[in-house]
Amino acid sequence: MCGRYSLAPAEFSEIQLEFQVAGEALSWAPRYNIAPSSGPGYEPPIVSLDGLGQRQLTLARWWLIPSSWRRALRLLPTAFNARAEELGAKRFWSQSFDARRCLVPTTGWREFTGPTGHREPRHFHYQHHLFAFAGIWDEWLSPEGDAVRSFAIVTVPADDVVRPVHDRMPLRVDPASYATWLDPGVAGVEALASVRSAVAPPLFEYATDPAGNDVRCEGPDVIAPARRRQLDLFGS
């Protein structure tokens, strides 16, 4: 976990209102099949603090590139998810964990079961409401001199709903903990403990169309229930 997620509120203003961010709206359309990549293009938004301590929405690549990285991007380890248990222990994550935490707006995520070529997706959501994953971010300077912002989603052991499909799940941040998670004045260990202590609302899941396994697929059909999608296709 997590290899795909969605961000599909009805209006962009819902994101601004939920996370209390001001400023102009980003050029944005609902996304149903966000996939990790360290390359440019189609970066999703994250919520972080600016230099004045105000919340801001910025676009970032979903694959953490530490500011200290000096090798080719193709040599990056798998860094789009960060295990909560390793955030303070591994140098790759630790500096961002203490000073650069973010919220990742989302409306749900997908996990896959089955062998390669026959993967069956399951969509997980909190009544399709907008919420936030816990994230960490960094900004790397490319050899060409471009500042590249990137992030990773924090994961924890799966709960009873997710466990039959996958052993990990993204860490949800309760709205009451947004400020604590974003505050660099709060130690990472303390912020993580606060977020993990919150009681999450009921989590729901269902099977979706395997066509959404293809990262090139986009649109509401990606997260439509598989049975309903079959009825639409065959007119039953």
Q: What tens digit of pLDDT does each residue of 142-193 get?
A: 989 999 999 999 999 999 999 999 999 999 999 999 999 999 999 999 999 9
Residues whose CB is less than 8 angstroms from the CB of residue 23 and which lie 6 or more positions away in sequence, other chains included: 56, 57
139 or 29, greater pLDDT: 139
Tens digits of residue pLDDT in 65-100: 999 999 988 899 999 999 999 999 999 999 999 999
In this predicted structure, the answer to whether residue 131 has a pLDDT above a threshold of 50 is yes
Which CATH number belongs to the domain containing residue 26 in this structure? 3.90.1680.10
- The pLDDT score that the predictor gives to residue 206 is 96
Residue 31 near residue 59, CB atoms below 8 Å: no
User: Rounded to the nearest 5 degrees, what angle is found at the Cα of 125, between the Cα atoms of 188 and 181?
Assistant: 15
**Domain span at 229:** 4-234
Q: How many domains does the chain have?
A: 1
- CA gap 213, 216 in Å, rounded: 9
> Using one digit for the tens of pLDDT, what is the confidence trace for 6-59?
999 988 889 999 999 987 777 778 999 999 998 888 899 999 999 999 999 999
The DSSP bridge partners found for residue 31 are: 7
Q: What is the pTM of this model?
A: 0.93
